[in-house]
Amino acid sequence: MTLIDRYLAAVAAQLPAAGRDDVVAELRDDIMSRIEARQEGLGRDLTDDEVEAILREVGHPLEVSARFGSGPQHLIGPELFPWWMFGVKVGLIVLVAITLFSVLIKTISGQDLSQAIGQGFASLFSGAMTLIGVATAAGYIIERQGEKPSFITNWRVRDLGFFEVARLDAEGFNRALGSDAGAPESVRKTQRMSPVARALSSAVAAAVLTAWWAGAILFGGVPLNEWVVVVAGVDYTHAVRETVSLIFWPVVVYGVSRVLFDVFRAANPRAVRLAAVGDIALACARFVFTAWLLLISPLSRALEVGDLRQALERTWDTVQTGFQSGVWSLSGIVVMIMVMSLLEPAGRILISLVRLVTGVDRRLEPSR
């Protein structure tokens, strides 16, 4: 095999089968024309070194095949890159928040702080690499589609509040969440996140939390069902693991339903009554989950909560003792959190019932 044949074979190996022969023939003609012109100028045949020099001028087989290949010559182009960067940034914000929560829970449960932080950093790094890899793979696929997704061009100004979430400074978060109490009312209204933005941010958070619960993402380096939970010298590990085992699949179903509902709500922001029905169903599920955890679950038995009256008394005793002596019972705090968690879905149900009856969602009203 001559140098030219070897060179052309290397180029052909990088080309798709369709049109390969035509490209190789065209390239061979170009190479032979260069060689003949050089031979005519020198008045003799070229040596192998001189032929190789011409082939170097033509270019490396990988570069040459790329010029003849189809599709973009980059993973993610300039049009899609800002979307990739935004998705990665929001995903990292959620990962950091959940990692900090995981470190806090592990520290409260008795694990050494330095060990918890080390595991948190390791899991955060692993999760970040996975997130970036998945985002890059998705961007690579989208980049090579004949038609770009509609969200790149078919966007609305009313939905742009969600993009403020990517700002990491406190001022940006205050504006995104509409909590800048010092600003005039007219300014606060224009800074609130739109219903579409809230739905999308809720979908992202629910997706990450569901993935963590299912074990697809590990925070703290240990699956949830393998956590060791020791609070104030009392081992709650068995109760926690048994509780997780009993509600594992119901929580997965709830998480997936939450994501799908939020996506629907983002795509149909004016479907007030349908959104109200979904809110009521999900709030009822949260209420049942919380009531079960508080009153019936293995964790409830470990915390020695017999009924709702005892839970309320335990909450009051925890608050009263905490303020009087400055000593707060961690198990009492857990009971208090679960009692208070019953109020959120109850309030959500009442608000959603009003929207279901009236068909009006004040969050959709334009700012004045």
Model confidence band, residue 158 (pLDDT cutoffs 50, 70, 90)? low
Q: Which two tokens stand for residue 288?
A: 């049942």
Q: pLDDT at position 149, please?
A: 65
Across 67-78, average pLDDT: 70
Considering only residues 346 and 328, tell me which one the structure prediction assigns the higher pLDDT. Answer: 346
Q: Is 331's pLDDT higher than 70?
A: yes
Q: What are phi and psi of 123, to 5 degrees?
A: -70, -35
Contact 269, 262 (CB under 8 A): no
Specify the pLDDT at position 305: 85
Task: Give, as one character, the DSSP assignment of residue 154.
Answer: S
Using a 10 angstrom Cβ sphere, with 0-12 exposed, 13-18 middle and 19 or more buried, the burial of residue 43 is exposed
Q: How far apart are CA 227 and CA 107, in angstroms?
A: 12
Residue with structure tokens 């928040």? 97
Cα 298 → chain centroid: 32
What whole-number distance in Å separates Cα of residue 13 and Cα of residue 17? 9
Say whether 230 sits in a helix, a strand or coil.
Answer: strand
Cβ atoms of 27 and 11 within 8 Å: the answer is yes
- pLDDT tens-digit readout, 32-66: 999 899 888 888 888 888 888 888 888 888 888 87
pLDDT of residue 173: 42
186 pLDDT band, cuts 50/70/90, is very low
User: What's residue 315's pLDDT?
Assistant: 86
SS (H, E, C) 95-122: HHHHHHHHHHHHHHCCCCHHHHHHHHHH
Out of 138-147, 262-271, 346-355, give the one with best mean pLDDT: 346-355
**In this predicted structure, what is the pLDDT of residue 282?**
94
On the question of pLDDT at 277 being above 90, the answer is: yes
* pLDDT for residue 367: 47
Greatest alpha-carbon pair distance for the chain in Å reads: 107
Check residue 170 and give its pLDDT: 39
pLDDT at 189 over 50: no
Picking from 355, 316, 351, 363, the residue whose alpha carbon sits closest to that of residue 335 is 316
Which residue did the predictor score with more confidence, 280 or 3? 280
What is residue 193's DSSP assignment?
P
Give the phi and the psi of residue 153 in degrees, each rounded to 5.
-115, -30
**For range 80-98, the mean pLDDT:** 80
Instruction: Report which secondary-structure segment, H or E, holds 223.
Output: none
Q: What are phi and psi of 231, to 5 degrees?
A: -120, 120
Q: CA-to-CA distance for 103 and 200, rounded, in angstroms? A: 26
E strand or H helix at 234: strand 234-235
The average confidence (pLDDT) of the chain is: 77
Q: Which tokens hold the place of 279? A: 């809110």
**Cα separation, 161 vs 236, whole angstroms:** 42
Q: pLDDT class for 291, splitting at 50, 70, 90?
A: very high
Q: What is the pLDDT of residues 207-264, one digit of tens each?
A: 878 887 887 766 555 566 666 666 666 777 788 888 888 999 999 999 999 989 988 8
Domain residue ranges of the chain, discontinuous segments joined by +: 3-68
Residue 194 has pLDDT above 80, yes or no: no
**Is the pTM value of this prediction over 0.95?**
no
Per-residue pLDDT, 224: 64
Residue 35 · residue 7 · CB < 8 Å: no
- pLDDT given at position 175: 44
Q: 305-334 as b/e, with b when 16 or more CB fall inside 10 Å?
A: beeeeebeebbeebeeeeeeeeeebebbbb
Distances (CA, A) of 331 to 32, 82, 260, 272: 84, 46, 35, 40
pLDDT tens, position by position, 104-138: 766 666 666 677 777 777 777 888 888 888 888 88
Q: Where is average pLDDT lowest: 143-152, 199-208, 259-268? A: 143-152
Q: Is 268 helix (H, G, I), strand (E, B) or coil?
A: coil
For residues 323, 324, 328 and 331, what is the CA-based torsion angle, rounded to 10 degrees? -100
User: So what's the pLDDT on residue 184?
Assistant: 46
Percentage, residues of the chain above pLDDT 90: 10
User: pLDDT for 159-175, tens place per residue?
Assistant: 555 565 555 443 444 44
For the cut 90, the answer to whether the pLDDT of residue 285 exceeds it is yes
